[in-house]
Amino acid sequence: MSDLLRSTISARISKLPLLPPTSVDEGDEEENEEIDTIGDLPGSGMGPPAMQRPPNPNFSPISASGFFEQALQIAIPARNLDCRVYYTAPKFKNGTVMICHHGAGYSGLSFACFAKEVTELTKGECGVLSLDARRHGRTSSTDGDDGDLSIDILVEDFCAVLETIFPDPAAAPTFLLVGHSMGGSAIVRSCPKLLEKKYRIAGVAVLDVVEGSAVDALPHMNSLLNARPDGFDSMEEAIEWHVSTNTIINANSARVSIPSTIKHEEGAILPYQWRTPLRSTAPYWLSWFQGLSKSFLAARSARLLVLAGTDRLDKELMIGQMQGKFQMDVIPGVGHMLHEDEPTRLAEILVEFWRRNERILPAGIKKVGDL
Given a cut of 60, whether residue 20 has pLDDT beyond it is: no
Q: Which uninterrupted H or E stretch holds 17?
A: none
Query: How far is 147 from 78, CA to CA, in rounded Å?
Result: 16
What's the alpha-carbon Rg for the chain, to the nearest Å?
20
φ/ψ of residue 198, rounded to 5: 75, 20
Please give the pLDDT value at position 369: 42
Query: How far is 104 from 135, CA to CA, in rounded Å?
Result: 10
Query: How far is 53 from 51, CA to CA, in rounded Å?
Result: 7
Q: What is the SS3 assignment for 100?
A: strand
Query: How far is 187 from 189, CA to CA, in rounded Å?
Result: 5
Q: Strand pairing partners for 303?
A: 204
Q: Which domains does the chain have, with CATH numbers?
A: 3-37+60-358 (3.40.50.1820)
Query: How far is 108 from 99, CA to CA, in rounded Å?
Result: 10
Query: How far is 298 from 292, CA to CA, in rounded Å?
Result: 10
Query: How far is 125 from 199, CA to CA, in rounded Å?
Result: 19
Please give the pLDDT value at position 224: 81
Query: How far is 179 from 200, CA to CA, in rounded Å?
Result: 17
Q: Which of the residues are catalytic?
A: 181, 208, 336
Query: How far is 257 from 248, CA to CA, in rounded Å?
Result: 10
Q: Which stretches of the chain are DSSP H helices? A: 3-13, 26-37, 112-121, 151-165, 182-196, 211-217, 221-225, 235-244, 251-257, 285-289, 292-298, 315-322, 338-341, 343-358
Q: Which residues contact 169 (CB under 8 A, 6 or more apart)?
A: 197, 198, 199, 200
- Segment 147-171, tens digit of pLDDT: 899 999 999 999 999 999 999 999 9
Query: How far is 187 from 191, CA to CA, in rounded Å?
Result: 6
Query: How far is 141 from 134, CA to CA, in rounded Å?
Result: 7
Residues 159 and 269: beta-carbon distance below 8 Å: no
Of residues 136 and 362, more confidently modeled: 136
Query: How far is 118 from 62, CA to CA, in rounded Å?
Result: 19
- Segment 30-84, tens digit of pLDDT: 444 443 432 333 333 334 444 577 899 999 999 999 999 999 999 999 999 999 9
Instruction: Residue 28: count other Cβ atoms within 10 Å of its Cβ.
Output: 12
- Segment 273-331, tens digit of pLDDT: 999 999 999 999 999 999 999 999 999 999 999 999 866 789 999 999 999 999 999 99
Query: How far is 74 from 187, CA to CA, in rounded Å?
Result: 19
Average pLDDT, the chain: 86
Given a cut of 80, whether residue 358 has pLDDT beyond it is: no
DSSP class of residue 66 equals G
The dihedral built from the CA positions of residue 346, 288, 104 and 143, taken in this order, carries a sign that is positive
CA 276 vs CA 73, 177, 188, 279: distances in Å: 19, 24, 23, 9
365 HSE (CA, 13 A, CB side): 6
pLDDT bucket at 231, cuts 50 / 70 / 90: very high
φ/ψ of residue 223, rounded to 5: -70, -35
What percent of the chain shows pLDDT beyond 70? 82
Q: Which residues contact 140 (CB under 8 A, 6 or more apart)?
A: 81, 82, 146
